[in-house]
Amino acid sequence: MSRTTKALALTASVGLLAGLAACSSGSSGSEASSAAPADADHITIQLDYQPRGLHAPLFVADEKGFFADEGIVVDDILTGAGSGDTLRLVGQGQGDFGVADLPTLVVARSQGVPVKALAATNQTSPLAMCAKADKFTLDTPDDLKGLSVGVQASGSTYVFYKALLAANGIDASALTELSVSPPYESYLVTDQVDTVPCYTDAEVPILEEAAGELSILMGSDFGYDTYGTGIFTSDEMIEKNPDLVQRFINAYLKGLQATIDDPEEAAGILAASDPQLAGNEELYTEQIQADIDNTFTSADTDADGLGTMNDETWQKTIDMLFEQKVIESEPTVADVQDPQFVSADTTD
């Protein structure tokens, strides 16, 4: 079985398990976890979807003992069914920490979900619109007009899709929208749709091998100037256990730095974390490298460290989503983020 076939099979199989506790990191049985003190804090982490390169820092932090060093045992790292669902789960206390698209967190917060971002892993959003290059050329958003698009009416890709159209004055009626279920990228491979929203640090390496050369329209080039995916927790966790939050972020940032320092090792740790992920080291390395090249670092991280967040970027995101009617009410910057933990700089 080729790497692409394995990856597509993985996408389908794990997609069916999204939201279940069956696929975990196996953290509770690891040597790193057992090295934690007897009174360590036990936590669960809720991913936004199936494991991919972007999630490697969590697995690296567990495998290398960074969580154990902070007095934390990771009992489970659970797959998710999209950022929207993950935000609600953690907001309801069904998971202690989570990974989610940060503009989608703004949407959730505007709807009363009590969660806050702790760190911006992607300093720039990796979301784009993708089409097969031998069929369509996506140079500007206007090139989307007249195309059929696969959309999932929840989660980060739909927030991105709506915001991108609104930012460029395109009515959704200019496209033919087809409701699809994950893994929606397969609809592009089989020519059931002309274009789909895609993560350049996730689906693109798979799609390029399965569908050939892609034409990619980056949202960040056309008005979607936001953070991408980040780490978050509930308001209750921040209020009741800020020390645990700080220790979690300390370990996570060490894992993120280790992932950047050695992406191949990080990819191997991720692939070895569950039998369903075995054999995807090359894919995960490509995904991690895409983030190293484009999203993990910025002028802000050069100045203030990995994961840093600033009020200006958050305010621009809130304003964009409100002006484009993606949200009906505007949360404040303080509602959507708490930067004190990442700015504490206790990872040295």
Q: Are 187 and 130 in contact (CB under 8 A)?
A: no
Lowest-confidence segment of 75-79, 126-130, 267-271, 343-347 by average pLDDT: 343-347
The closest alpha carbon to 79, from 246, 270, 238, belongs to 270
pLDDT band at 24 (very low <50, low <70, confident <90, very high): very low
Supply the pTM of this predicted model: 0.84
Q: Residue 151 is encoded by which pair of tokens?
A: 């959309």
pLDDT tens sequence across 53-90:
999 999 999 999 999 999 999 999 999 888 999 999 99
Torsion angle, CA of 156/160/162/165, rounded to 10 degrees?
-170
User: CB within 8 A of 169, min separation 6: which ones?
Assistant: none
Please, what are the domains in the chain? 3-124+227-336 (3.40.190.10), 127-221 (3.40.190.10)
Per-residue pLDDT, 39: 85
pLDDT tens sequence across 281-308:
999 999 999 999 999 999 999 999 999 9
Per-residue pLDDT, 345: 54
